Amino acid sequence: TLLGFIVTDLPISPKGLQKMLSFAGQRSFNCISVDGDMSTNDTICMIANGAVDTPTIDVESKEFNEICEQVTGFAQKLAQLVVRDGEGATKFVTVKVQNSKTFDDAKIIAETISNSMLVKTALYGEDANWGRILCAIGYSKLDNVTSLVNEKLNVSFVATDSSEPAELPLLVNGVPNLNVDEARASEILALPDLKIVVDLGTGSEECNFWTCDLTHEYVTINGDYRS
């Protein structure tokens, strides 16, 4: 179960706060997955008590977008901590789907990759199994496939440390990279933090989703929770 709250001393109107939390939540807590299961209790609450002496922030206020961005970035940091503490997790993985026709399509694809047990076990085993990533993209439940054009699709692993080359292309314009540097792939997959980048090439929207690997330890923890 995900529970959380964010509190601030700014004065924010109820309508402003609702819009802020909705925007931030859609790009943070609704973009994480440990195991693909949704709880009956998930709740994120935000309170603004107005202890700071400044005019009330409303949707129309000049500062609204600035604060909304700050709250979103803050919520992302908090949400990412949950993934880092995923039961049994040894890796923190950012799945970035970019250049999508719509945000919703980018999110659906990112979420499908993030929830794939086979992708997650490959990440644990440090196996550069890009076929599983493609497979997940292919069965993602998009309303239509206008965001997805085979010849424009690119998939890469990206290192998050300063090592070079940072990006390892696995699929280039719909064609598998048959000369994947397996040694470099192993180096990237051995990192505790790494990124999977899917470039759809059909638009300009993007979504980041955060997930972790699936390990033996996850099974140990969850085979014996109630007792």
Report the site for another protein in 176-205 (rule: CB under 8 A): 192
Is 1 among the residues known to form the active site?
yes
| Catalytic position from the list 1, 72, 94, 102 | 1
Query: Using CB under 8 A, which of 117, 172, 175, 221 touches another protein?
Result: 221
* Shortest Cβ 130–another protein spacing (Å): 20
Q: Which of 100, 112, 115, 202 binds another protein (CB under 8 A)?
A: 115
> Measuring CA to CA, which residue among 89, 74, 71 is closest to residue 33?
89
Q: Enumerate residues 6+ apart whose C-beta is below 8 A from 97.
A: 106, 107, 109, 110, 113, 198, 200, 206, 207, 209
Cα separation, 52 vs 66, in Å, equals 17
User: Considering beta carbons, is residue 124 or 130 the nearer one to another protein?
Assistant: 124
| 125 belongs to the binding site for another protein (CB under 8 A) | yes
Nearest to 18 by CA among 57, 76, 74, 52: 57
Shorter beta-carbon distance to another protein: residue 182 or 204: 182
Supply the DSSP symbol for 55.
P
Q: Can residue 18 be called a binding residue for another protein (CB under 8 A)?
A: yes
Nearest-angstrom CA–CA distance, 102 and 112: 16
Among 86, 140, 154, 198, binds another protein (CB under 8 A): 86
Tell which one of 36, 131, 176, 203 touches another protein (CB under 8 A).
36
Angstrom distance (rounded) from CA 141 to CA 183: 34
Q: Decide if residue 5 touches another protein (CB under 8 A).
A: yes
Counting residues that bind another protein (by CB under 8 A) gives: 78
Q: Is residue 117 involved in binding another protein (CB under 8 A)? A: no
Residue 143 touching another protein (CB under 8 A): no
Q: Pick the stretch among 58-66, 143-151, 163-171, 180-188 that binds another protein (CB under 8 A).
A: 58-66
**String of DSSP letters for 136-193:** HHHHS--SSSTT--GGG-EEEEEESSS-SS-EEEEEETTEE-TT--HHHHHHHHTSSE
**Residue 141 within binding range of another protein, rule CB under 8 A:** no
Among 6, 93, 97, 133, binds another protein (CB under 8 A): 6
